[in-house]
Amino acid sequence: MHKEQTPGEKFQTATSKVYQELTPANQKYFGKLQLYLKTAGLFYDDDEVQEQIFQIAADLLTAQRDGLTAEEFLGTKPREMANQLVRNFKKEKPNNLFWWSLMTVGLMWFLLLMDGAESLNVLTYLLSAVVVVLVTFTALKIFHFAVYEGKNALLNWGRKRPGLFTGLLFILVVSLLVVIQLFTPAIWVWQLAFPANILFLAIFGLGLTGVLYKVLGKAGIPFLIIVMGYLIMNIIANLPSTREFFQQTIPGILLKSYGPLFFYLLYLFRVTRSIKKQK
């Protein structure tokens, strides 16, 4: 059975159908306006944002049928109009921003814990959290403003090459994290011996899984499967009897790196069988 769509998802589906009926010029106008509203409304009520976008698309299609272009109907300053709409959006609950930030930081910490939790430089983790949150939300703001910043060469370049922009951003974050790892003084270090390190990994991993599910919902289940796979493999790899195999042998390193993907393949196999049965 297919899960019931949320109101926001229903509006998004309806918007896509309307979009197909627009002329190429109107599609270009509306596409930029839609992207601007979506990136501005990341922390607003999604149902309301999607409903507003659909209403604009439906009104534009009606105007198009009356012989009007998007610029004639909506004006030559879509950014100002969009900003006015955003100001009227209903704010999401304040803790939504907290949960998104917690998810971002948790994923980054999870990667740092892949080598074990025997010695934790707390200052490193705190500085890394600040860097990841600042870079993530700065990037979202840049991408948002780049939609209509055609005269700004840097923003315009990033808008036209989102894949390359994302790759460079990823390199920047990784580079900053490496610098933090190498140069942060060890003035606040937690030493966790077995079995405390295993318990810490388990509690942290399960907590992260809960945060991911809260933020992403059922749509994030495939991602949760991978995270849980790496959590289980990381716990096994840090047991005293298996540590040497996973850290000093090529088969162990490969198993630790790619073994968790087996859980994801099992999930895909199960979903595929379920879909075939429904047919």
Write out the DSSP string of 220-241: GHHHHHHHHHHHHHHHHHTSTT
Residue 264's pLDDT band (boundaries 50, 70, 90)?
confident
Q: Which range of residues forms the domain containing residue 251?
A: 195-279
- Examine residue 110 and state whether it is found in any structural domain, yes or no: no
pTM: 0.61
Q: Is the pLDDT of residue 269 over 90?
A: no
Cα–Cα distance between 265 and 134 in angstroms, integer? 34
Q: Is the pLDDT of residue 244 over 80?
A: yes
Domain boundary among 191, 218, 252: 191
Residue 147's pLDDT band (boundaries 50, 70, 90)?
low
Residue 189's pLDDT band (boundaries 50, 70, 90)?
confident
Domain boundary among 173, 191, 209: 191
Q: For 115-134, what is each residue's pLDDT tens digit?
A: 666 788 888 888 888 888 88
Nearest to 120 by CA among 178, 176, 201: 201
* Kind and range of the H or E run holding 198: helix 196-216
Cα–Cα distance between 36 and 144 in angstroms, integer? 6
* Total domains present in the chain: 3
Q: What is residue 164's predicted lDDT score, i.e. its pLDDT?
A: 62
Q: Is the pLDDT of residue 153 over 70?
A: no
Domain boundary among 191, 224, 246: 191
Three-state DSSP class for residue 251? helix
Query: Do 200 and 260 belong together in one domain?
Result: yes
- Examine residue 155 and state whether it is found in any structural domain, yes or no: yes
Instruction: Report which residue type is found at 120.
Output: L
